[in-house]
Amino acid sequence: MPVRPATRCRVHVRVHGQDPCPPARSRNPVETAEQPTEVIAGRASQALVLDRYRLVRRLGAGGFGVVWLAHDEQLDRAVALKRIGVAGQDPSRAEREALAAARLAHSGIVALYEAGRDDDAVYLVSELVRGRTLDELIAQGELSDRDVLRIGVALCDALEHAHGRGVVHRDVKPGNVIVPDEPSAGVAKLTDFGIARVLGDDALTRTGDVVGTLAYMAPEQAEGRQSGDAADLYSLAIVLYEALAGVNPVRGRGPAATARRVGARLPPLGRLRRDLPLELCEAIDVAVLPRPEQRGTLADLRDALNDAIREVADEAGAVLASRTEAVGRIGRAAMPSRPSDRALAACGAAALTASALAWLGPEPLLAPGIGAAIAGLACALLPRMAWVAMAVLLLAWLAQPAGGIAIVVAVAVAPVPLLLRRARGSWWSAPAVAAPLDVIGGGAAWLAVCGQAARPWHRAALGALGWWAVVAGRVLGHGRGAWADDPSRAWREGVEPIVGDGRVLAVAGVWALAALALPLFVRGRALGPDLAGALVWGAALAAGTQALAPDMGAAVLGATLAGVVAVLIRASRASDAA
C-alpha cells in the first residue's frame, strides 16, 4: 500500500525522532528502539530478510515464532517482523494470520504490511507499535477505570471491524493487546491473529480441536465446538472483568482448576467492585454468560462502556491490593461478609409500606404488617422492579379517596429514580428508612448508612434523599387532614412551602456533603482516630442542620448516633477483611 509523503513524515518523526523529509536519509532510523550501539553498528553486515528487511534486535519470542525489530530498507522505517521457523512449526498458521490480517484495516488492529517465506521460515511484517501489553499494565496497576473502559471501547470497535469482514480472532487476551505509548497512535491495538477463523474458508482446526488461551476462552470454544463472534465477545468481557476487578474469574491455581471453571457462571463483577456503575457491571456479566446466544452483542457492550466512561474513576490503581487479595479467593463460594444493601432495601420498603397502610390512606386490603413483609421481601429479591411496582400500587391506592396525600407521596418519591438512576436498585428503597428514624429523633443516623456507598455521587444523592424523606414524613404526619382529599390544596399547602423554602434545600445540601465526606473522617483503620473523626463529623453535621433548621431539636442526637453507627460499620468491615 503506498504511503503518502506527508503521512510518512509524521509517522517517521513520531517513531524515529527525526524528520525524513530533507533529502539526506537517516543513518540510524531505529535509534529510538533502545538497542545497543554495537547492534546498530553491526547491522550493515547482516543479510536482508525478504530482500528488504534488516533485523536489528529481538523483541520477544513465544510458542509461535520470534518477533524482531527490523528496518525496512526500501521505505526507511522501523517495523516488527515475526519469524516462524518451518522446522517444527505449522506454516499454515502463519498463512492463516496473514490471510486474516490482510482483510483488516483498522486503527485498533496492528497493520500487516507484508507476508513472505523462504526455505527456512515464514515472515510476517507489521507496523511497529511502541507501547506495553495490557497484561503488563494490569499487573503494574497503572490503569484507571476510565483507561480500561476506553481500551474496551477501542477493542469493541476493532472486533466489530474484524467480524464485519468475516474474521473471528479467537485469542483475545491482555497479552494480545498493545497500549501505545504515544496517544496519537491510538488507545489500544489488537494483535496476533494466528488462530483466527476466517469465515467462508476451510477451518484452521477440525471440530473437536481446541485452540486459544483457556482462562479467556469461551465455553463453546473450549469444548471444541464451532465458535463465532460471541466467543470474541466473551473473551473481551473476561479481559475487562480482569482489568476492573484485578483478577481473572476463570483462572484457577492450575490448568485443571481453570478448566473446571470454564462454562460456569461467574461471580457478578458488581460484587467485587461495588463502586462501578450498575449498568456497566451488568453488561460485562451478560457478556460472560455460558450460552453464546445470551451474551448480547459487541455493540451492547460498547454502549455500556461508553455510557460509563464519565462516571468511573480516572485515577490509576482503583483495584487496591487488599481487595485483590480478597478477590483471589474468588473460586470459593464465600466472600467476606458485609452488611447487606438488599436487607436495607427491605427495611426501607417495609417501613414505607407499613406507614402508608397504617396512617395515610383508606381502609387497607392488607394488614400493615403483612403488607410490609411482602414489600420488604419483594425489594430484597428484585429491588428496582419491586420499588417501581410498590410506588405505582401505593399511588393508585391513594389516588381516589386521598388524592392530596397521593400528590405529596409522588413528590416525595419522584427524586429517587432521577438521582439514583445508575445506582444499585437496592438503594432505591433505602432512603425511606430515614423517616421512621426521624420519629425517634435519629433521622441523621441515616447518613452513617448511606455514607458506606462506594461512589461519591451515590453517597451525596442518598444523603439528600434521606433528608427529603424526613421532610416528606413530617409534612404527611402534620396537618394533612386539611388537604388529604384535595390535590390542588395539597400542592399549595403541602408541597409549595417545602419546595420554595431555601432552608430545606440547604439542609439537603448539608446532608449530601456529610454523606460524601464520611469516609474521610471514619476510615475503619483504627478505633481511636475513627472515634475522633466521627465526633468532628457529627458535630459539624449537627451544627449545620440546626443552623438551617432550628426546629430539628434532635439533630445533635441524630448526628451522634450517626457517628457511632459509622464507626461500628467500619469496624465490622475491617474485622471481616482481616
Percentage of the chain modeled with pLDDT above 70 = 77
| Domains 28-127 and 131-327 belong to one CATH topology | no
Cα–Cα distance between 349 and 353 in angstroms, integer?
A: 6
Is 90 a known active-site residue?
no
pLDDT tens digits, one per residue of 55-110? 999 988 765 678 999 999 999 999 999 888 876 566 666 677 777 777 888 999 99
Please indicate whether residue 498 or residue 464 has the higher confidence score (pLDDT): 464
Residues 176 and 191 sit within 8 Å (Cβ to Cβ): yes
Cα–Cα distance between 450 and 554 in angstroms, integer?
A: 19
**Which grid cell sits at 114?**
507484508
**Which grid cell sits at 545?**
442542620
Quote the pLDDT of residue 201.
53
**Which grid cell sits at 249?**
474469574
Check the CA dihedral 498-500-502-507 and report its sign. Answer: positive
Most confidently modeled range among 28-32, 481-485, 489-493: 489-493
Quote the pLDDT of residue 328.
45
Q: Looking at residues 362-374, what average pLDDT do you find?
A: 83
pLDDT tens digits, one per residue of 442-452? 777 777 777 77
Determine which of 282-296, 315-329, 375-389 has the lowest per-residue pLDDT on average: 315-329
Whether 575 shows a pLDDT value over 50: the answer reads no
Q: How confident is the model at residue 203 (pLDDT cuts 50, 70, 90)?
A: very low
Quote the pLDDT of residue 264.
83
Percentage of the chain modeled with pLDDT above 90 = 21
Quote the pLDDT of residue 330.
52
Q: How confident is the model at residue 36 (pLDDT cuts 50, 70, 90)?
A: very low
Q: CA 270 from chain center: how many Å?
A: 8
Considering only CA atoms, give the Rg of the chain: 31
Quote the pLDDT of residue 422.
75
As a 3-state breakdown, the chain gives helix, strand, coil percent values, each rounded to 5, of: 55, 10, 35
Quote the pLDDT of residue 558.
58
Determine which of 38-47, 207-216, 509-518 has the lowest per-residue pLDDT on average: 38-47
Residues 427 and 379 sit within 8 Å (Cβ to Cβ): no
Q: Looking at residues 167-177, what average pLDDT do you find?
A: 91
Catalytic residue chosen out of the listed positions 147, 171, 232, 285:
171
Which residues lie below 8 Å from residue 242, measured CB to CB, with a gap of 6+? 138, 174, 248, 249
In the numeric block, the cell 483478577 is attached to 247
Whether 3 shows a pLDDT value over 50: the answer reads no
Quote the pLDDT of residue 324.
43
Cα–Cα distance between 155 and 306 in angstroms, integer?
A: 12
pLDDT tens digits, one per residue of 526-535? 677 777 877 8
Cα–Cα distance between 139 and 326 in angstroms, integer?
A: 16
Could you tell me the end-to-end alpha-carbon distance of the chain, in angstroms, rounded to an integer? Answer: 60
Q: Looking at residues 403-427, what average pLDDT do you find?
A: 85
DSSP 256-320: HHHHHHTTSPPPPHHHH-TTS-HHHHHHHHHHT-SSGGGS--HHHHHHHHHHHTTTS--SB--S-
Q: Looking at residues 397-415, what average pLDDT do you find?
A: 84
Quote the pLDDT of residue 146.
94
Mean pLDDT of the chain: 77
Most confidently modeled range among 186-195, 278-287, 395-404: 278-287
**Widest CA span in the chain:** 100
Q: How confident is the model at residue 212 (pLDDT cuts 50, 70, 90)?
A: low
| Closest by Cα among 432, 416, 427, 445 to 380 | 427
pLDDT tens digits, one per residue of 221-237? 888 887 889 999 999 99
* DSSP H/E element including 148: helix 145-164
Quote the pLDDT of residue 405.
85
Quote the pLDDT of residue 89.
60
DSSP 456-498: HHHHHHHHHHHHHHHHHHHHHHSSGGGTTT-HHHHIIIIIHHH
* pTM of the predicted model as reported, rounded to 2 decimal places: 0.52
Q: Looking at residues 549-554, what average pLDDT do you find?
A: 61
**Which grid cell sits at 251?**
483462572
Whether 434 shows a pLDDT value over 60: the answer reads yes
Please indicate whether residue 361 or residue 323 has the higher confidence score (pLDDT): 361
Of the candidate CATH numbers 1.10.260.40, 3.40.50.2300, 1.10.1840.10, 1.10.510.10, the domain formed by 131-327 belongs to 1.10.510.10
Cα–Cα distance between 15 and 31 in angstroms, integer?
A: 9
Please indicate whether residue 367 or residue 534 has the higher confidence score (pLDDT): 367
Of the candidate CATH numbers 3.40.50.10490, 3.30.200.20, 3.40.50.170, 1.10.340.30, the domain formed by 28-127 belongs to 3.30.200.20
Domain boundaries, given as residue ranges, for the chain: 28-127, 131-327, 345-577
Most confidently modeled range among 347-351, 518-522, 554-558: 347-351
Whether 334 shows a pLDDT value over 50: the answer reads no
Whether 12 shows a pLDDT value over 50: the answer reads no
Q: How many residues does the chain have?
A: 578
Cα–Cα distance between 578 and 574 in angstroms, integer?
A: 6
Please indicate whether residue 544 or residue 107 has the higher confidence score (pLDDT): 107
| Closest by Cα among 374, 385, 369 to 346 | 374
DSSP 8-class letter at 144 = B
Cα–Cα distance between 574 and 556 in angstroms, integer?
A: 27
Cα–Cα distance between 348 and 359 in angstroms, integer?
A: 17
Q: How confident is the model at residue 27 (pLDDT cuts 50, 70, 90)?
A: very low
